Chain A
């Protein structure tokens, strides 16, 4: 950047936060875990599945696109932890004070962090999602999910498959933004990770205990339900009653709300 002005503005914040992210080992480890766990679990789940299953009453209607992306839910935890740590590690070490003394425009700093970690998780998430799809299809074809078994080969050239794979990457990027927002509000690593994981898992666990009318609603508007809606490519009885675009809207709302609360809080509180 020739003649870069010496000031603390948005471009400087972006360059600074990008450098911070790539100069700690935990970033690389988290991303490796993210990719590795996703592919590992997709492999385990798809290599063990058989065509016997299916939704209740309708055997043979497996959603092989969605099934191949199942591993990303496990990897997502590593991505969420990475995003939480980007902000909470600064609070736990006290480095946040150095950050805010260097640039007192805290919202700019938080926005830069959001773009950097959201962008990295989006890109790695897209690659992970595509890899899971390919690995999953390979295992599934070998397990009878092929033309003879009533499952025509699916590739990324298929519109729905491509949408599910891209949508999963975008979902993971937005989940990272949500996690960062929670981290910025709570400023405490363990608390933030707990809240993010609870947001993902608690509603799904609660579904079985809720009356059907409430359960349907919770399923649609919970964080994981939104992601599953994005990954659905087959009409099944147990589908989430939400379109892929609706799922994207829900997860975007989670990310935006967390970020807005964080942006509002960060300027008002003592660092």
Chain B
């Protein structure tokens, strides 16, 4: 496994706003790395720095050990999907891919191959002005695949795709990683990456919050709280407390237990001859873990509605 993208102390300011703040992370080949953070966290800026579009104020970001601007045929090394709607509306889809192919001396035959790959062959001769956002996303993905690159960078590729398109994209990203390519996908919703991403780079306010695997993130956020409903609240509380658990009453018949696993709770209750109506473990979703992780880094947080705390 080799490092495809390497950011080192990367910093970018726009006026007085620090968009990317001393950011370091790695993206490895052969896996899908999710790049997640709330809106305005600096994801797109980081991707622009990666592609040599913006110049960093500090640090650097390299692709397979080289600065992007040093690449001789960039499309052969890095395929990127930025803003899918950044197309000239009057140009036909095929012509759009053809000028891109020519800019790197790629054969025209590649254009038809990638159109086939993303399922746009039928609309190849249509002007992109009439494309839905989903079609534009597919065209952007086709453009990224033109040079058959080792490294793929997709900025919010799920935007505008219908459920079918999302399923297709997930399978497609997985297959790219299985072919040994590095796949770097940004999203402001972690749930979009659930089941696709192996690795996560989580950022907020331009700073790295965590570089972790999906399973590690879930594990670290499971606090093992167990919910119990019982008609014998007082007795059950006493029994669990003497078994070493921390127990809180949350209603006339409800308890929250930490420090014991569900099977241990059931065991203690059964030994005392007490009754339970309900027993379940609080499940932390990836999204909850993510919200927890990025709570302090949300740039524009909404006030919590009254009564919901």
15 A-B contact pairs sorted by A residue (CB < 8 Å): A12-B105, A16-B102, A17-B99, A19-B99, A23-B98, A23-B99, A24-B90, A93-B88, A94-B82, A94-B85, A97-B53, A97-B86, A103-B74, A105-B69, A270-B54
Q: Of A19, A26, A89, A102, which contacts B74 at CB under 8 A?
A: A102
Instruction: Across the interface, name the chain A residue whose C-beta is closest to B79.
Output: A101
Min Cβ gap A248→B in Å is: 33
Q: B103 touching A271 by the CB < 8 A rule?
A: no
B287 CB-CB contact with A under 8 Å: no
A99 CB-CB contact with B under 8 Å: yes
In the complex, what residues of B have CB within 8 A of residue A9's CB?
A: 105
Min Cβ gap B131→A in Å is: 13
Q: Is the interface of A mostly helix, strand, loop or mixed?
A: helix
Min Cβ gap A7→B in Å is: 5
Q: B72 touching A95 by the CB < 8 A rule?
A: no
Instruction: Across the interface, name the chain A residue whose C-beta is closest to B98.
Output: A19
Q: A25-50 toward B: CB 8 Å interface, digit per residue (1/0)?
A: 11000000000000000000000000
In the complex, what residues of A have CB within 8 A of residue B100's CB?
A: 16, 98, 102
In the complex, what residues of B have CB within 8 A of residue A103's CB?
A: 74, 103-104
Known: A6-B76, A101-B51, A104-B68. A94 touches B105 (CB 8 A): no
Give the CA-CA distance A98 to B99 in the complex, in Å: 11
In the complex, what residues of B have CB within 8 A of residue A93's CB?
A: 86-89
Tier of interface size on chain B: 35 or more
Instruction: Across the interface, name the chain B residue whose C-beta is closest to A4.
Output: B105
Q: B103 touching A13 by the CB < 8 A rule?
A: yes
Q: Of A25, A89, A102, A270, which contacts B103 at CB under 8 A?
A: A102
Give the CA-CA distance A95 to B91 in the complex, in Å: 12
Q: Of B73, B76, B80, B102, which contacts A101 at CB under 8 A?
A: B80
Q: B52 touching A101 by the CB < 8 A rule?
A: yes
Give the CA-CA distance A265 to B51 in the complex, in Å: 18
Interface size of A in residues (CB-CB distance below 8 Å): 34
Min Cβ gap B90→A in Å is: 5
Give the CA-CA distance A19 to B103 in the complex, in Å: 10
Give the CA-CA distance A9 to B104 in the complex, in Å: 7
Known: A7-B105, A8-B72, A16-B103. A270 touches B86 (CB 8 A): no
Give the CA-CA distance A9 to B75 in the complex, in Å: 13
A236 CB-CB contact with B under 8 Å: no
Instruction: Across the interface, name the chain B residue whose C-beta is closest to A14.
Output: B102
In the complex, what residues of A have CB within 8 A of residue B158's CB?
A: none
Other than A20-B99, A97-B48, A97-B82, give 14 A-B pairs with Cβ distance below 8 A. Answer: A6-B73, A7-B72, A8-B103, A13-B103, A15-B103, A23-B95, A24-B90, A95-B86, A101-B51, A101-B78, A102-B74, A104-B71, A270-B54, A271-B53
A211 CB-CB contact with B under 8 Å: no
B83 CB-CB contact with A under 8 Å: yes
Interface residues of A (CB under 8 A from B): 4-9, 12-13, 15-17, 19-20, 23-26, 89-90, 93-95, 97-105, 268, 270-271
Give the CA-CA distance A12 to B107 in the complex, in Å: 12
Min Cβ gap A225→B in Å is: 36
Q: B74 touching A101 by the CB < 8 A rule?
A: yes
In the complex, what residues of A have CB within 8 A of residue B98's CB?
A: 19, 23
Instruction: Across the interface, name the chain A residue whose C-beta is closest to B78.
Output: A101
B222 CB-CB contact with A under 8 Å: no
Min Cβ gap B241→A in Å is: 61
In the complex, what residues of A have CB within 8 A of residue B69's CB?
A: 104-105
Instruction: Across the interface, name the chain A residue whose C-beta is closest to B67.
Output: A104
Min Cβ gap A81→B in Å is: 15
Q: Of A6, A97, A270, which contacts B104 at CB under 8 A?
A: A6
B92 CB-CB contact with A under 8 Å: yes
Give the CA-CA distance A61 to B186 in the complex, in Å: 72
Give the CA-CA distance A97 to B36 in the complex, in Å: 22
Give the CA-CA distance A97 to B51 in the complex, in Å: 9
In the complex, what residues of A have CB within 8 A of residue B177's CB?
A: none
Known: A16-B103, A23-B95. A270 touches B88 (CB 8 A): no
Give the CA-CA distance A9 to B106 in the complex, in Å: 12
In the complex, what residues of A have CB within 8 A of residue B91's CB?
A: 20, 23-24
Known: A16-B100, A101-B80, A271-B53. A6 touches B86 (CB 8 A): no
